[in-house]
Amino acid sequence: MVDARIKFRHLQTFVEVARQKSVVKAADLLNVTQPAVTKTIRELEEVLGVSVFERDGRGIKITRYGEVFLRHAGAALTALRQGLDSVSQERSGDVPPIRVGALPTVSTRIMPRAMGLFLEENTGARIKIVTGENAVLLEQLRVGDLDLVVGRLAAPDRMTGFSFEHLYSEQVVFAVRAGHPLLSGKPSIFAHLGDYPVLMPTRASIIRPFVERFLIANGIAGLPNQIETVSDSFGRAFVRSSDAIWIISNGVVATDIEDGLLAALPIDTSETKGPVGLTMRTDAIPSLPLSILMQTIREAAGVALSKD
C-alpha cells in the first residue's frame, strides 16, 4: 500500500538530488531553497525508514537503499509525465514527445536515416534528440528524462534496471586525414604514435577501457600529446587540419572515410569491437510513435551494416 505521506515533491526532489549529486544544484534547478530540499529529503527518509543519501567527502552519494528507490521513483515520475502528456494530447491534438539520447557513434551514421524514415510515417510526434556521454544519458533515462538511448552497450554495473536490444557490433578505428604520413605503410604505426597529437575518448566514455587495453597490448603505456574529447565536430575539424590521430568508434567517422575526407590507419582493431543497440528502462512500455521510431532505427542500422 502506498504511504499517503509521500508526495510528488518528495519524488521530484529526491530524483533531482540523485541526478545532480548535490543538494545545492538540485535546489537551484527546482527553484527552492537548500533548506527546503534538505527538509524534503529528511521527510522522505522518515517515511521510508532508511537513509537515501550519505556524505561522501564534501559531497553526497546515493545509498544502496536510495538506488533501489530511485528506479521506482523515476518510473513513477515518468508515468505521471505520460499521464499529463496524454491529457495534453487529448486537449490539443498533440502526441507526447519522444526523447532520445544518441551517442556519437550513431548520431552521424544511424539517426539521420532513421529520422528520415520516421518522418515518412507522419505520426505527428515531436522528437527531442540529445547527445552526450553515456553515463549522463543513462542517468537521464533512469529518471525518466529520456525514453530511449541509442549507442554502445554500457558496462554491466551501469545496466541495472535497463534492457538492451543488440543491433550490430562495431570497433574502434584510428582516423587521420587523407595523406597522413602513417598511411604510407613504411614506418611502424605504434612506434611513431607518440610523434603526433592523439585524440582520445574521455575516461567516462564506454570505449575508453577498450582503447586503453588495446594500446597497452600493443606496447603503448602512455601518449605524450594526448587530448581527451567527446566533441565529434572538434575531432573532425582538428584531424582534417593537422597530423593528429583520432581514436574513435567507427560509426562516428564512417561517412567521412567513405567520402575520402578521412582515412583509417591500417591497424587490426577487431578486439575493440562491442555491441551497439537500443537501451530502455525495463519497466517502460513504449508508445506507438516510439515503437515506430525504434523500428526505423533498426532499419537504418541494417542499411549501415550492409555497407560495411
Question: How far apart, in whole angstroms, are the C-alpha atoms of residue 167 and residue 174?
Answer: 23
Tell me the range of 136-145, 184-193, 271-280 where mean pLDDT is highest: 271-280
- What is the arithmetic mean of pLDDT over 131-146? 87
pLDDT score recorded for residue 1: 45
For residue 263, the model assigns a pLDDT of 95
For the residues of 262-308, what is the DSSP string, one character each? EEE-S---GGG-EEEEEEEETT----HHHHHHHHHHHHHHHHHHHH-
Provide the pLDDT for residue 117.
93
Query: What's the CATH class of domain 1-92?
Result: mainly alpha
For domain 172-272, give the CATH number. Answer: 3.40.190.290
CB 193 within 8 A of CB 223: yes
Confidence (pLDDT) at 109: 84
Percent of the chain with pLDDT over 90: 45
How does residue 228 score in pLDDT terms, banded at 50, 70 and 90?
Answer: very high
Burial of residue 290, with CB atoms counted within 10 A of its CB: 0-12 exposed, 13-18 middle, 19 or more buried: buried
Lowest-confidence pick of 74-88, 93-107, 218-232, 278-292: 74-88
* Residue 20's pLDDT band (cuts 50, 70, 90): confident
- For 175-185, write each residue's pLDDT tens digit: 999 999 999 87
User: What is the separation of C-alpha 43 from the centre of its chain, rounded to a whole number of angstroms?
Assistant: 33
Does 68 have pLDDT greater than 70? yes
Please report the sign of the dihedral spanned by the C-alpha atoms of residue 218, residue 222, residue 228, residue 233. Answer: negative
Among residues 138, 179, 134, which one has the least CA distance to residue 152?
Answer: 134
Confidence of residue 227 (pLDDT cuts 50, 70, 90): very high
Distance separating the N- and C-terminal Cα atoms of the chain = 54
The single-letter code of the amino acid at 120 is E
Q: How confident is the model at residue 240 (pLDDT cuts 50, 70, 90)?
A: very high
> Where are the CATH 3.40.190.10 domain residues in the chain?
95-169+274-307
Rounded distance between C-alpha atoms, residue 255 and residue 268, angstroms: 20
Quote the pTM value. Answer: 0.66
Cα–Cα dist 166/279, whole Å: 9
More confident residue, 204 or 130: 130
Which pLDDT score, from 0 to 100, does residue 286 have?
A: 85
Where are the CATH 1.10.10.10 domain residues in the chain?
Answer: 1-92
Q: Which CATH class is domain 95-169+274-307?
A: alpha beta
pLDDT range class, residue 86, cuts 50, 70, 90 = low
Whether the per-residue pLDDT at 296 is higher than 90: the answer is: yes
pLDDT at 119 over 60: yes
Contact 274, 206 (CB under 8 A): yes
Bigger pLDDT: 132 or 106?
106
What the block records as the C-alpha cell of 135 is 553515463
